Amino acid sequence: MKNLYLIIYFILFNCIQGFGQNPPIDSLKNILKIEKEDTNKCNTLNSLSTRYFKLTKWDSALIYAKDMQALAEKIGFKQGIFNALSATGSIYYQKGNLGISLEYLKNALKFENAISNKRLVALVYKQIGMNYIVQGIYSESLKNYLIALKISQEISYPSVEAYCYNEIGKIYNIKGNHIEAIKNEKKALLISEKCQDSGMIAAGLEYLGEAYLADSNYNESLKSYLASKAIFLKLNKGQGIGDVDYGIGNVKYSTHQYQEALENHLDAIEVFKKINDNDDIAEMNVILSQDYFALGNIQEAFTMGDKGLSLLLAGGEKDNIKDAYRNLAVINAKLNNYKSAYEDETLFKLYYDSIFNNENEKKQSEMQMQFDFNKKEDSLKILQSSRDTLNIEQSKKQKLTTYFVSGLLFLVLLFALFVYRNLKQTKIKNLIITQQKELVEERNKDILASITYAKRLQDAILPPLSIIKQYLPESFVLYEPKDIVAGDFYWMERTGDNILIAAADCTGHGVPGALVSVVCSNALNRTVKEFQITEPGKILDKVRELVLETFEKSESNVQDGMDISLCSINTKNQKIQWSGAYNSLWYIQNGELHEIPADKQPISKTDNPKPFVTHSLNLSKGDILYLFTDGYADQFGGPKGKKFKYKQLQDILLANAPRLMEEQNTILEGYLEEWKGSLEQVDDILVIGIRV
């Protein structure tokens, strides 16, 4: 997929060029010498720029594009100006000057109404969307893709329509809206199937597989990937086969089928070796390292991880190098090579900071270039406008002398009447706006006051951290609500020698989530205090019964409830009992992180409910338990705006397990803030750590 953007630019240039003959460069240069300065010469310059672009000779392509612009402006050839600006924007994109590229592409669209071929206009809007998505400015990218999509639908341009739906789906995926992502990817696939374009169908199925994977719909993801691979095999498309094998391996890894994940990832790297895709080979070595680590083959994991890092250092992207260092830090910690683990973790942090700093500097530089470009362009427009006005006035001066004064007086009178009427209307409008603003502000104050008071009520159901520390001195609670009030909550109760503690995630967040959390917290309290139930699985059975009983009183069909991880710790014999609804339990013992999967049913109305299972563990002093909701792993951020994911959270916890629990809390907060950056928090966040 790495050459996809370049192919798109070839399509754009060929569309601008037309579908005529393609003489070689030398012939075009000879033609150029004898041509007059007219539209034919513009088209020849366009052809030369296109040829050099295809040869990736950006500087030569840029020279002919600039010559084409100068000539087209001189002779007033708007189509030629459009072609030149579009070509120049494309070349600057390839040279990495995204800010300048955007300005040329946007300037090309100023001639949009003069272009009869709307396909070219759709392609430029699509290019702008591609430019913004590379910069991580997803809202602007989405806006331009939607315009390109609308135009392509109006003129029946299915290839661009399908491409736009794919990219729109990817943006929704990044933003965490998986339902919209899948919806758009399906639309793209449907169009590709109507076109009977096997390559587009295979790519669309691959994108759909990625969307399902991000939504944790592993069955549909695997189904899409396998269908995509079947087509790529028929087409003998090596890159596509390798990409799909990589995706299938990721599905297997996410469902803890580590041996199958390894086999698929090995298939992928073999394909990449055949097509000499060195970048993907380097990245796959790191992925294979993670597979071997999950299978317990730590030495092979180290060998592959070290090889992958070496290849990436020879020419890989900083983001991949960063991940490779983090991978080795975890492996070295497992091998008790703590010095190497510390060095790898330090280098990971340096690369992480470098990526963010470079992105900020790059954006600032591009913003300055755009500002300077706009300022210069505005000055030229003002100067030209002044010259045009002066010429018109001089040519008409004699004709206007007989009635200039009377006309001027009429205009002054008309203007005075207009100003008076406008002032009167403005005064009335300002009065209405002021009243409306005051009303909105007053209502906002009332709403904020109500929500703030609701927070005080919700805080009252949370156990004080001092009480948790009293019974569980080596522990931490990382609690970051998305809004003032939250759907996530933590709960604790003591019964004899047992400490019951839970991390719960109620349906929704904000005010709706907070209301559900009160119902669920009350059900937990009643189950333990009123019904004297202390076994975690039976507690969850009773809590589900009480929650359903509460919501069944409503006339509407309420489906709300919660996911929960509930643990019982005996403070005398260290015996642990645990049960979970969708939220699993992690624990670290002897330097290894283990997971107990939760029951795949929520505390709410569900088909075919089953009793919750109580799991028993025998832990030793110093072992660590982690209870959590999905907010931390689902947070978007990093240089590419992706999810943090559970694997990265596990790596952090394992690498920092020897540290004090308070230090672990601080480290988790730091990683979260760095990862989130300027992006909005997407959900409530709750992580509880307890050292036995």
pLDDT tens-place string over residues 134-188: 888 888 999 999 999 999 999 999 989 999 999 999 899 888 888 999 999 999 9
Confidence of residue 616 (pLDDT cuts 50, 70, 90): very high
In a domain, 258, yes or no: no
Do 437 and 560 lie in one domain? The reply is: no
H or E stretch at 568: strand 562-570
In a domain, 13, yes or no: yes
In a domain, 214, yes or no: no
Residue 360 scores a pLDDT above 60: no
pLDDT tens-place string over residues 520-570: 888 999 999 989 999 999 999 999 999 888 877 655 556 678 999 999 999
Token pair in block for residue 230: 């079947």
**CATH at residue 620:** 3.60.40.10
> Of the ranges 562-571, 634-643, 682-691, which one carries the lowest mean pLDDT score?
634-643
Predicted confidence at residue 499, as pLDDT, reads 95
Residue 425 scores a pLDDT above 80: no
In a domain, 369, yes or no: no
Averaged pLDDT for residues 476-494: 89
Cβ-based neighbours of 277, under 8 Å, separated by 6 or more = 2, 239, 242
Last residue of one domain, picked from the residues 141, 156, 171 = 156
Per mean pLDDT, which of 10-14, 315-319, 508-512 is the most reliable? 315-319
Do 582 and 517 lie in one domain? The reply is: yes
Q: How far apart, in Å, are the Cα atoms of 667 and each of 288, 642, 688?
A: 27, 20, 13
Please name the residue that has the structure tokens 């992502």.
Answer: 181
Q: How far apart, in Å, are the Cα atoms of 500 and each of 79, 468, 521, 535?
A: 74, 10, 13, 9
pLDDT tens-place string over residues 394-419: 545 555 544 554 555 566 566 666 66
In a domain, 188, yes or no: no
Burial class (CB in 10 A: 0-12, 13-18, 19+), 516: buried
Predicted confidence at residue 623, as pLDDT, reads 94
Per mean pLDDT, which of 76-80, 447-451, 687-691 is the most reliable? 687-691
Residue 92 scores a pLDDT above 50: yes
Do 477 and 589 lie in one domain? The reply is: yes
Q: How far apart, in Å, are the Cα atoms of 555 and each of 213, 302, 545, 559?
A: 37, 59, 18, 12
| Of residues 663 and 430, more confidently modeled | 663
Q: How far apart, in Å, are the Cα atoms of 108 and each of 77, 112, 620?
A: 13, 7, 69
Q: What is the DSSP letter of 600?
A: S
The domain in which residue 326 lies consists of 289-358
Predicted confidence at residue 14, as pLDDT, reads 44
**CATH at residue 114:** 1.25.40.10
Cα dihedral 50, 53, 54, 60 in deg (nearest 10): 100
pLDDT tens-place string over residues 50-62: 899 989 899 999 9
Do 606 and 630 lie in one domain? The reply is: yes
Compute the radius of gyration of the chain from its Cα atoms.
32
Please name the residue that has the structure tokens 């991940």.
Answer: 323
DSSP assignment of 339-379: HHHHHHHHHHHHHHHHHHHHHHHHHHHHHHHHHHHHHHHHH
| Number of structural domains the chain divides into | 4
CA atoms within a 13 Å half-sphere pointing along the CA-CB vector of 44: 19
Do 454 and 477 lie in one domain? The reply is: no
Do 124 and 151 lie in one domain? The reply is: yes
In a domain, 198, yes or no: no
Helix 218-235 with 238-254: angle, nearest 10 deg: 160
Length of the chain: 692
In a domain, 185, yes or no: no
Main-chain dihedrals φ then ψ at residue 138, nearest 5 degrees: -70, -30
Do 558 and 674 lie in one domain? The reply is: yes
Main-chain dihedrals φ then ψ at residue 5, nearest 5 degrees: -65, -40
One-letter-per-residue 3-state SS of 369-405: HHHHHHHHHHHHHHHHHHHHHHHHHHHHHHHHCCCHH
**Shortest CA distance to 160 belongs to which of 133, 200, 131?**
200
Predicted confidence at residue 244, as pLDDT, reads 93
Q: How far apart are CA 626 and CA 689, in angstroms?
A: 5
Helix ranges restricted to H, 76-217:
78-94, 98-108, 118-135, 138-154, 158-174, 178-195, 198-214
pLDDT tens-place string over residues 501-516: 999 998 766 677 777 8
Q: How far apart are CA 675 and CA 456, in angstroms?
A: 30
Do 526 and 654 lie in one domain? The reply is: yes
Do 527 and 661 lie in one domain? The reply is: yes
Helix ranges restricted to H, 462-534:
465-471, 510-525
User: Do the Cβ atoms of 685 and 504 come closer than 8 Å?
Assistant: no
Do 415 and 564 lie in one domain? The reply is: no
Q: Give me the sheet containing 615-618, strands edge to edge.
A: 488-495, 498-506, 562-570, 575-581, 615-618
In a domain, 194, yes or no: no
Do 346 and 448 lie in one domain? The reply is: no
Predicted confidence at residue 557, as pLDDT, reads 55
> Of the ranges 116-120, 197-201, 363-367, 612-616, which one carries the lowest mean pLDDT score?
363-367
Predicted confidence at residue 75, as pLDDT, reads 93
Predicted confidence at residue 271, as pLDDT, reads 92
Do 323 and 411 lie in one domain? The reply is: no
Name the residue type at position 549. Answer: E
Residue 388 scores a pLDDT above 70: no
Confidence of residue 296 (pLDDT cuts 50, 70, 90): very high
Predicted confidence at residue 356, as pLDDT, reads 55
Q: How far apart, in Å, are the Cα atoms of 340 and each of 129, 176, 237?
A: 43, 36, 41
Average pLDDT value over all residues in the chain: 83
Confidence of residue 370 (pLDDT cuts 50, 70, 90): very low
Report the sign of the C-alpha dihedral through residues 234, 235, 241, 244, in that order: negative
User: Do the Cβ atoms of 258 and 273 come closer than 8 Å?
Assistant: no
CA atoms within a 13 Å half-sphere pointing along the CA-CB vector of 412: 6
Cβ-based neighbours of 527, under 8 Å, separated by 6 or more = 533, 539, 542, 543, 546
User: Do the Cβ atoms of 609 and 544 come closer than 8 Å?
Assistant: yes
Last residue of one domain, picked from the residues 461, 487, 508 = 461
Last residue of one domain, picked from the residues 121, 156, 191 = 156
